[in-house]
Amino acid sequence: MAIDAATVRKVARLARIAEPEEKLESLAQELSGIMAWIEQLAEVDTDGVEPMTSAVAVALPLREDVVTEGGDAAKVLSNAPKSIGGFFVVPKVVE
């Protein structure tokens, strides 16, 4: 299925990546080329096939619901672009 510039604009918005208007057309062509190549999957008969969601068939392990680590705000914040007084500083979300 061909992807047009409007679809790229929408998908880029969903992915939170700013793509300049003048790049949308070339991106649409690129992605259409990749998706056209992917279309060949339609040839495979997958009726009744269970989707494979994990590379190994093991049940997820459980552990005791207890605190294992924490209490180290300085470490957590050490790579923050902005922090004040032990908190992340982020743009205003609620007006």
User: Which residues of the chain form contacts with other proteins (CB under 8 A)?
Assistant: 3, 7-8, 11-19, 27, 30-31, 33-35, 37-44, 46, 49-56, 58, 60-61, 63, 72, 75-76, 78-82, 88, 90-93
Shortest distance, position 69 Cβ to other proteins, whole Å? 10
Which CB sits closer to other proteins, 65 or 72?
72
Burial of 31 (0-12, 13-18, 19+ CB in 10 A): middle
- Rounded Cα gap, residues 18 and 33, in angstroms: 22
Which CB sits closer to other proteins, 22 or 75?
75
Computed from CA positions of residues 11, 16, 21, 25, in that sequence, does the dihedral angle turn out positive or negative? negative
